[in-house]
Amino acid sequence: MVTLRTERLTLRPARADDLDAIHALLSNPRAMAYWSTPPHTHRDQSREWLAGMIATAPDEGVDFVIAHHGRVIGKAGFYRFPEIGYILDPALWGQGLAGEALRAVLGHVFTAHGLERAVADVDPRNAASLRLLERLGFRETGRAAKTWLVGREWCDSVYLALDRKDWPQRTA
Ligand X SMILES: CC(C)(COP(=O)(O)OP(=O)(O)OC[C@H]1O[C@@H](n2cnc3c(N)ncnc32)[C@H](O)[C@@H]1OP(=O)(O)O)[C@@H](O)C(=O)NCCC(=O)NCCS
- Binding residues for ligand X, per CB under 6 A? 31, 34, 86-88, 93-99, 122, 126-129, 131-132, 135
Whose Cβ is closer to ligand X: residue 19's or residue 33's?
A: 33
Q: Which of 107, 64, 104, 108 is nearest to 88 (CA)?
A: 64
Q: If 0-12 CB within 10 Å is exposed, 13-18 middle and 19+ buried, where does residue 82 land?
A: middle
CB of 44 to ligand X, least distance (A): 21
CB of 74 to ligand X, least distance (A): 6
Whose Cβ is closer to ligand X: residue 135's or residue 164's?
A: 135
| β-bridge partners, 154 | 149
CB of 129 to ligand X, least distance (A): 4
Q: In the 8-state DSSP scheme, what is residue 38?
A: P
DSSP 3-state assignment of 91?
helix
Judge whether 58 and 1 are in contact, CB under 8 Å: yes
Whose Cβ is closer to ligand X: residue 5's or residue 165's?
A: 5
CB of 158 to ligand X, least distance (A): 9
